[in-house]
Amino acid sequence: MIRQARPADLARLRAIQMASLTEPWDGLLEPAIDGPPVVLVVADETDEPVGYAVAIPQDTVAYLAELAVAAGHRGEGRGSRLLAALCEQLEVDGFERLELTVRAGDDRARDFYDDHDFLERERLPDHYEDGDGLLLARPLQN
């Protein structure tokens, strides 16, 4: 099940964030849940979040700040369903494009986003502490 994040989800989302991301965005989740960023969660059968996505609106473009799925729930299509739901919501809300950054050497992330129609727009030298990043984008309006 995919739904909007709720304040009660914060502790679980923070735990997923800290365990899943190499460089989590400190202080992102608390204000994001209250908006204006879009925060969706993918929940298990007990409605416990096992993954989340945060998109920050910027005019007609939304920026995917974080997408994470908890260990033990990866490889089940949850991240794909979460990303698809996020893109659908952003399109309905009138956004034209979704952008994100990944590490240039992170083949797993690049493959995931390639599979979801993201294209490289720009190389970002020294974007991360350990190297270059890539700005990827996907159009949302058909």
C-alpha angle 85-99-71 in degrees, rounded to nearest 5: 55
**pLDDT tens digit string along 58-100?**
999 999 999 999 999 999 999 999 999 999 999 999 999 999 9
Among residues 102, 94, 108, 106, which one has the least CA distance to residue 121?
Answer: 102
Under DSSP, the state recorded for 141 is -
54 pLDDT band, cuts 50/70/90, is: very high
What SS3 state is found at 23? coil
CATH architecture assignment, domain 2-139: 3-Layer(aba) Sandwich (3.40)
Mean pLDDT of the chain: 94
Strands 61-69 and 97-103, by their bridges, are parallel
Residue 129, pLDDT score: 84
Instruction: Read off φ and ψ for residue 112, nearest 5 degrees.
Output: -60, -50
**What string of DSSP letters covers 51-80?**
EEEEEEEETTEEEEEEEEE-TTSTTSSHHH
Task: Locate 41 and state its tokens.
Answer: 């969660």
**pLDDT at site 34:** 86
What local confidence, expressed as pLDDT, does residue 26 receive? 87
Q: What percent of the chain has pLDDT over 70?
A: 99
Q: How far is residue 35's CA from residue 138's CA, in Å, rounded to a whole number?
A: 23
